Amino acid sequence: MQVTETLSEGLKREYKVVLAAADLATKVEAQLDDMRAKARINGFRPGKVPVAHLKRLYGRAIMADVMQDAVNEANQKIIADNDLKLATPPKIELMPTNDQELAEAFEAKTDLAYKVAVEILPKFEVEGLKEVSLERLVAEIPEADVEQAMTRIAEQNRLYTPKEGDAVTAAKGDKVVLDFIGKIGDEAFEGGTAQDVDLVLGSNSFIPGFEDQIEGMKIGEQKTISVSFPEDYAAANLAGKPATFEITLKACATPAELAIDDAFAQSLGFPDLPKMREAVVASLEGEQVAISRRKWKRELLDALDKKFTFELPDALVTREFETIWREATAERNAEGKSFAEDGTDEVTERADFQKIAERRVRLGLVLAEIGEKAGVTVAEEELAQALYERARNFPGMERQLIEFYRKNPERLNEIRAPLFEEKVVDHLLGEVSVTDKKVSPTELVDLVKAFEAQSETSSAAPAA
């Protein structure tokens, strides 16, 4: 095997490889000899099939396998000898210029030459992390918020006593069971028909005006009510439109008294009320930590993006750009919007998405390097848990989805990558300079929202 480097430019490398015909022929002959001892072919005794006959039958297929193995072996040697870290798999181009030359190479009459092109990962040092400064917002949970959460849980789990009798009417606070058919004009609209729907009157779970008109209805009564969908209603085809609902009240129950005590806590699986309270506080604190994390993680990634500058592999950037562009195009088509309606044009949007792709690749490489040096790994148990969580979003197809990911390592990496990123980000929190600032939960939410709104308008590149 002869290897000659023909290109070394930036992150791109190319090599010319020549595999000697004699070496390939020797490997083919060895496989034919091995096959001769095992072959069972009509007209020949076991182990007595002439090698020439086997070569006529299987020689070309064996040579193809030998060539593939030789190419793989040569490529691995190139990578090892030159200490290369590849950004993408090698690209192979056979150098025989016509079918005749390729046929001669397959018959081991001439050497096999090919070009291998690779793009390598950039080398850079992850230093000076202590120079990165972050402000972490820390919200202290007021007692009033804890009490409010406890009351909300109690409300959600409140017991109800059925009302009975012909004169019974539904009142605010009652839980009712409804059938209804919603119409725009005389036509029932999609999603507007339902049966046996539970609704607590006064909970504002339905559109304005709906629940108020149920109050006073009797069990078994049918009634048509008129409402209007809000202008900002999620379903654009219903937003702002007047509608009618044909209502049937099937059952009604009055709420029992709220009792937030040990018995209530035990009904939810806690040993006593103090343990339930601890769990509620932990849950509220977890929510505040998650909100705060959105801000400091974005600031951390912004700082890393500015701190590290190096050449990016074209192949990785192109692949990332194509993914972003494909998703954006699908979303635009689904919404039926044009570039002009969004106040932009294709050239501008492509340029913005190119920046996003470059940022994501750069941050991905930086986080990977930091994680590798810190020994950050994703345990198989963590990966399995994340896979199961994703599978749960596809009821009835969980097993097939899990098998698909397990049989496709590249797709499984789509689940591993964000887990790895979060663990590296957690590691970085101990490497950079962090200043805690105490705020109220309300201030936390407001500050994070303002930060995210400013980030959206000042940068086209969201966090990786």
Integer Cα distance of 23 and 301 in angstroms:
52
Count, residues in the chain: 464
Integer Cα distance of 403 and 26 in angstroms:
41
Does this chain's domain 160-255 share its CATH topology with 265-458?
Answer: no
* pLDDT confidence of residue 463: 46
- What CATH architecture is 160-255? Roll (3.10)
* pLDDT confidence of residue 459: 47
Tens-place pLDDT, residues 39-50: 777 777 666 667
Integer Cα distance of 406 and 400 in angstroms:
10
Tens-place pLDDT, residues 209-257: 999 999 999 999 999 999 999 999 988 889 999 999 999 999 999 998 8
265-458 folds as: Trigger factor, domain 2 (1.10.3120)
Instruction: Report yes or no: 74 and 1 within 8 Å, Cβ to Cβ.
Output: yes
2-119 folds as: Alpha-Beta Plaits (3.30.70)
Tens-place pLDDT, residues 398-432: 889 999 998 888 889 889 999 999 999 999 999 99
CA-based torsion, 386, 388, 391, 392: positive or negative: negative
Lowest mean pLDDT of 57-61, 129-133, 344-348, 455-459, name the range: 455-459
- Domain boundaries of the chain, sorted by first residue: 2-119, 160-255, 265-458
Q: Could you tell me the two tokens for 209? A: 């005006």
The residue assigned the tokens 């059925």 is 162
Instruction: Report yes or no: 166 and 263 within 8 Å, Cβ to Cβ.
Output: no
